[in-house]
Structure 1
Amino acid sequence: MTRVERWEQRSEWPLSIAAVIFLIAYALPIAIPTMSHASYEACEVVVRITWVGFAVDYFARLGLSEQRWAFVKRHPLDLAVILLPILRPLRLLRLVALVGVLNRVGSSTLRGKVVTYVVGATALLITCGALAVTDVERGQPGANIENLGDGFWWAITTMTTVGYGDRYPVTTTGRFVAAALMVAGIALLGVVTATLASWLVERVAAATDDEQAVTRAQIEHLTTEVRRLADELAARPSQPEQAPSGPSTARSADPAATS
């Protein structure tokens, strides 16, 4: 295990907890727009502290990496988490840490991990989409997404590619959020379809294997019975042929009686 892997193993859960705290601090001002100024400032302080924590984690892994440029190229999303804190909706990229911990929480099987990732990513994307679009759309001229309930309804209809049409973004940032959510929805739908198809194919294959196993067992049983009967027939001693006995035979054997 490399130094970077040891660091990631130790920091994974703390970063996940920090991501959850960040989500709460980010969501509260959006869900409660009438909150006091002091509460709003407290949430902003929490958001900044979590940003510092993610920055420390990124630069620590970068310093422990033996090939730093290769590390930067392999982790572009982590770098975006650090470089894009000014754009408030993009701060939600910090929640990527929550997806990493799903690898340990998920099942030991590949399909179990896929299901865990899909469920977790779907809930996370819907939440992030609702928060981001509500944050940028509220109070804008002509906006029809004014509260978090509208944001969640829009996020669900957009991610499932239904496109109900009663709620839609009117700002440029909101439309970028919508585009990202639609692409993610199509990708997750493809994963769900592929997983379901794989499960069905496996069930059919398992049923076919069971039927073949029963057929093979029956053939082996019949083969064993045939061999046993053949061995029994081969083991029986041969019986000598006996001449038939009766009145006609006795008369032919006695010439005096015949004359």
Structure 2
Amino acid sequence: METKFNIRNLFEAFIIILIIADLVMLMLITFTSVSYSIFVSVIYFDLMVCIILFFDFIHRMRKETDKKQFIKRNWPDIIAMIPFDIFALNPTYVFFARFLRIFRLARLFALFRREWKYISSFFKQTHINFAFGMLLFTLFAGTIIFYIVENGSNPSIHSFWDALWFTVTTMVAGNSNISPATYDGEAISVFMMLIGVSFVGVLTASLASWLMSKSKKTEDEREERIKNIETSLQDIKKEITELSDLLKKE
């Protein structure tokens, strides 16, 4: 049996990626100082995510028979899809910035809760805890060490974010528009490149395998339902035949 990707499974994976990105960006503007242009970009990205979550929530609710029970069970999703931060773009609401930050923290918790069950299920099924941990460790440790080594020697490294940009692009793409200026920086970049290429490939393969297994499970369930229907039809046909024979005898 040929297994194909299920559109719903692909959409769930897309939702997980969007929410993780949204979580990172919201934490960035919550706990660090960023330029206004970056702040506005994060707000509009968050608005897009909220719109997608809203339509996904409506789609899932329409499939449920007990709507009230569904809302009661998934009430944090309602908090997760409310774009509180859009009010921060209006100067009239600057006074409420502190309250908006509290609501943002509540949304961070709701978003995390919204997708944690999918992320934990993904880790359990694919066993990529080590690969994901190695990528995170390399990302943070590599950024800090590269910044310490290159700061003052590399004219392209002006801040910690420059070092982070170098680390991310090196790990994901294998190269960066920032070049190391020291031998230590070159050694670190080679190490990050090897770790990134190796473990990003593992994550990609694991994600593909996870989607395939979910699609296969969906197809198996569909085939099982078809078999049950066929069995029921055969039973009905047999009962009709027996009833017909009894009527003929009478």
Give the TM-score normalised by the residue count of structure 1: 0.44
Higher RCO (CA 8 Å, separation ≥ 6 residues): 2
Give the TM-score normalised by the residue count of structure 2: 0.45
Give the number of the structure whose alpha-carbon radius of gyration is greater.
1
